[in-house]
Amino acid sequence: MEFNKEVDATGLNCPLPILRCKKGLSEVEASQVLKVISTDPGSVKDFNAFCVQTGHELLQLDQDDSTFTFYIKKRSN
């Protein structure tokens, strides 16, 4: 999947992946896609909750062993 920016949050624990994701989203334009890589198993539920509450769109989640890769499309406004 194509993306505009990548954030590596591997090895980090709650709430750091979300905070890094938020920072990454502030550095891309509306409707652009941010890729976030995390190894925190709790981040799967948390990223869903983050997107539901903020209006950003979780396009895709890839899981590979213990690595989770999120593709998040920044909300347009």
Partner 1 sequence: MAKKLALIASKGTLDWAYPPFILASTAAALDYEVHIFFTFYGLTLLKKDLGDLKVSPLGNPAMPMPVPMPNLLQMLPGMESMATMMMKQKIADKGVASIEDLRAACLESGVKLIACQMTVDLFDFKTTDFIDGIEYGGAATFFQFAGESDVNLFI
Binding residues (CB under 8 A) for partner 1: these are: 11-16, 18-19, 21-22, 40, 50, 53-54
> Phi and psi at residue 42, in whole multiples of 5°?
-70, -15
The smaller minimum CB distance to partner 1, of residues 1 and 26, is found at 26
d(CA 65, CA 38): 11
14 noted as active-site residue: yes
> Phi and psi at residue 49, in whole multiples of 5°?
-65, -40
Q: Can you tell me whether residue 72 is helix, strand or coil?
A: strand
Min dist CB 47 to partner 1, Å, is 11
Min dist CB 72 to partner 1, Å, is 13
Min dist CB 46 to partner 1, Å, is 9
58, 47 Cβ separation under 8 angstroms:
yes
Which active-site residues does the annotation give?
A: 14
